[in-house]
Amino acid sequence: MSKAKKPVRKKAQLGHFDHEAFLKKLGKRIKTLRKEKGFQSYETFAYDIEISRTGMSNYESGAFDDIRMRTLLKIIDGLGITPKEFFSEGFD
């Protein structure tokens, strides 16, 4: 009786891009778009979209380790754009 060979499992690997650099770009994009869209203050923008002012400050400065998807979607929606438009520039 012969045993069937198990398929070799493909293993995911990290290291294809710099995560820290991506988060900095994300923060810069948020801040740039907020200003371009006419929102002068990150504090009032954060209040309007119901996220914390401290969080918004951290996101714009790139001083964060993680961002919840729902929070990012609130920011993008608050800017009046789609995720596709948000990621169309600055993320090469």
CB 60 within 8 A of CB 46: no
CATH homologous superfamily of 19-86: lambda repressor-like DNA-binding domains (1.10.260.40)
Supply the pTM of this predicted model. Answer: 0.85
Q: What is the DSSP letter of 65?
A: S
User: CA-CA distances (angstroms) from residue 83 to 10, 11, 53, 79?
Assistant: 30, 29, 22, 10
pLDDT at position 15, please?
Answer: 94
* Averaged pLDDT, groups of 10, the chain, 92 residues long: 82 93 94 97 98 97 93 98 94 75
Report which of 83, 74, 92, 75 is spatially closest to residue 27, judged by C-alpha positions.
Answer: 75
pLDDT at position 6, please?
Answer: 86
